[in-house]
Amino acid sequence: RAVAMSVSHSSRLNKLVREQYVRLPQDGLVQVTYVWIDGSGEGVRCKSRTLDKEPKSIEDVPEWNFDGSSTAQAEGSNSDMFLVPVCMFRDPFCLDPNKLVLCEVLKYNRKPAETNLRHTCKKVMDLVKDNHPWFGMEQEYTLLGINGHPYGWPDNGFPGPQGPYYCGVGADKVYGRDIVESHYKACLYAGVKICGTNAEVMPSQ
Say whether both 21 and 103 belong to one domain: yes
Residue 18 contacts residue 93 (beta carbons within 8 Å): no
Q: Are residues 71 and 108 in the same domain?
A: yes
Please check whether residues 51 and 141 belong to one and the same domain: no
Q: Tell me: cis bond preceding 164? Omega within 30 of 0 counts.
A: no
Do 82 and 178 fall within a single domain? no
For residue range 178-189, what is the model confidence (pLDDT) as tens digits? 999 999 999 999
> Are 141 and 107 within one domain?
no
103 plus 192 within the same structural domain: no
The 3-state DSSP class for residue 181 equals helix
Give the model confidence (pLDDT) of 152-194 as tens digits. 898 888 999 999 999 999 988 999 999 999 999 999 999 999 9
Look at residues 139, 130, 205 and name the one whose alpha carbon lies nearest to residue 173: 205
Regions in the chain scoring below 70 on pLDDT: 1-5
Answer with the one of 119, 142, 168 that is the final residue of a domain: 119
State residue 73's pLDDT score: 95
Residue 111: give its domain's CATH number: 3.10.20.70
Give the pLDDT of residue 11: 79
Report yes or no on 180 lying in a domain.
yes
Among 76, 8, 81, 7, CA closest to 45:
81
Task: Work out how many domains the chain is built from and give that number.
Answer: 2
Same domain, yes or no, for 47 and 110?
yes
Q: Which domain holds residue 149?
A: 134-204
Does the residue 128 lie in any domain? no
pLDDT at residue 6 in the model:
74
Residue 1 lies in a domain: no
Cβ within 8 Å of residue 80, ≥6 positions away = 65, 67, 68, 74, 108
